[in-house]
């Protein structure tokens, strides 16, 4: 363990991994409960266009992905408001247009394909200090926002109409959830890659929800599962030379299966009693 931490790239990976794991897992509980869990995939597709554009114009891909992610989120919000399309259709339209832009850029520019793989599948070796600082600051902002609005988001997730009647700014918070998801997906790009970015949002939250406890404890469990998976994933991947993103996702999936199994056994035994 001490040996791992002596490498600068591993220190960066642990620090950013833990902060991003917290942001993703907190956000994930609200997104899963609101049945928005696949929005992360949509935003990852949008960000892909930004990474390709960044590489083409020699702008930091992180910035390109962030800009595309934010513009894409606003695009989804406006498309929903101004036209008669459903949320998932709006996400589908914006994400596929951006994905199309990314693929088009890759086809006309040579030599980008190798670079883009590290953004698609994650590469802890490629984390630059500026990207690390930016992603840490943004992930911390996401965490602070969720802590401040946690009760409002909780109420909205339980019953949006009643929350609206209570004076909670539901439209603002819905838009913020989308924007924060975009920010979080881009922040997690270096660790797990765009292909698996939404897994850090969905899996820990889905596992924690299987535990069937209070809302506060569900949030805590989601964070613990996510952080543990990232730390263990980094250690295992380093020791056995596995892909970091895949290892983290497999650990998360194992957690989900174990908790699901435990909950089924509990149900069965309480039914027998």
CA–CA dist 267, 262 (Å, integer): 9
CA–CA dist 192, 137 (Å, integer): 18
Report the site for another protein in 102-161 (rule: CB under 8 A).
148, 151-152, 154-155, 157-159, 161
Is 217 a residue that touches another protein (CB under 8 A)?
yes
- Give the nearer residue to another protein in terms of CB position, either 6 or 270: 270
- Give the nearer residue to another protein in terms of CB position, either 32 or 185: 32
CB of 169 vs another protein, minimal distance in Å: 11
Burial category of 239 from C-beta neighbours within 10 Å (exposed 0-12, middle 13-18, buried 19 and up): exposed
- Give the nearer residue to another protein in terms of CB position, either 36 or 48: 36
Among 14, 74, 121, 215, the residue binding another protein under the rule CB under 8 A is: 215
Is 58 a residue that touches another protein (CB under 8 A)?
no
Is 262 a residue that touches another protein (CB under 8 A)?
no
Binding residues (CB under 8 A) for another protein: these are 33, 148, 151-152, 154-155, 157-159, 161-168, 208-209, 211-218
């Amino acid at each position: 363990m001490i040996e791992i931490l002596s490498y600068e790239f591993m220190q960066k990976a642990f620090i950013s991994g833990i902060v991003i794991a917290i942001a993703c897992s907190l956000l994930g509980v609200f997104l899963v409960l609101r049945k928005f869990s696949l929005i992360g995939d949509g935003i990852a597709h949008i960000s892909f266009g930004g990474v390709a554009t960044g590489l083409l114009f020699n702008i930091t891909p992180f910035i390109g992905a962030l800009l595309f992610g934010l513009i894409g989120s606003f695009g989804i919000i406006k498309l929903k408001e101004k036209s008669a399309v459903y949320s998932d259709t709006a996400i589908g339209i914006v994400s596929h247009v951006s994905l199309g832009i990314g693929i088009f850029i890759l086809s006309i520019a040579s030599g980008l394909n190798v670079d883009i793989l590290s953004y698609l599948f994650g590469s802890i070796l490629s984390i630059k200090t500026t990207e690390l600082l930016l992603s840490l600051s943004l992930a911390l902002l996401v965490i602070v926002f969720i802590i401040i609005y946690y009760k409002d988001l909780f109420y909205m997730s339980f019953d949006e109409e009643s929350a609206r009647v209570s004076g909670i700014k539901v439209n603002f918070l819905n838009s913020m959830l989308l924007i924060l998801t975009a920010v979080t997906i881009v922040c997690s790009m270096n660790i797990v890659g765009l292909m698996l970015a939404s897994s850090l949002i969905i899996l820990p939250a889905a596992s924690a929800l299987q535990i069937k406890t209070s809302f506060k404890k569900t949030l805590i469990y989601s964070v613990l599962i996510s952080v543990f998976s990232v730390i263990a994933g980094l250690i295992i991947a380093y020791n056995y030379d596995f892909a970091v993103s895949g290892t983290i996702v497999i650990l998360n999936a194992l957690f989900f299966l174990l908790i699901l199994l435990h909950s089924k056994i509990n149900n069965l035994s309480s039914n027998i009693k």
